[in-house]
Amino acid sequence: MGAIPAYEKYLELFGNVANLLRQTKNPEKLNKILLKFFSKLVVEGQLLPPKNRITRWRVTNCKLKEPYVGFF
């Protein structure tokens, strides 16, 4: 196991990952990235008019893996 990152590095890492997640359209790649940080992540889609497609996602439950849980 690697060293625990400093809090500032943790924030930088999550900022970079957030950008990567926004750009990634492949669900398998998204899953691989998220499994590095979360042992449990549940999201719920919301249908919005006029097209009634899922356009907004909300995290309903999550559990971070170590060492990230210590920063939450």
> Stretch 42-71: mean pLDDT, rounded?
84
2 is a domain residue = no
pLDDT for 22 equals 85
61 pLDDT above the threshold of 90: yes
Per-residue pLDDT reduced to its tens digit, 17-43:
888 888 888 989 988 888 888 899 898
**Domain range for 58:** 7-71
pLDDT for 1 equals 52
Instruction: State the total domains in the chain.
Output: 1
15 is a domain residue = yes
Q: Are 46 and 58 in contact (CB under 8 A)?
A: yes
19 is a domain residue = yes
Q: What is the DSSP letter of 2?
A: -
6 pLDDT above the threshold of 80: no
Alpha-carbon distances, residue 49 vs 1, 19, 24, 58 (angstroms): 47, 27, 25, 17
35 is a domain residue = yes
Share of the chain above pLDDT 70, in %: 90
Q: What is the pTM of this model?
A: 0.60
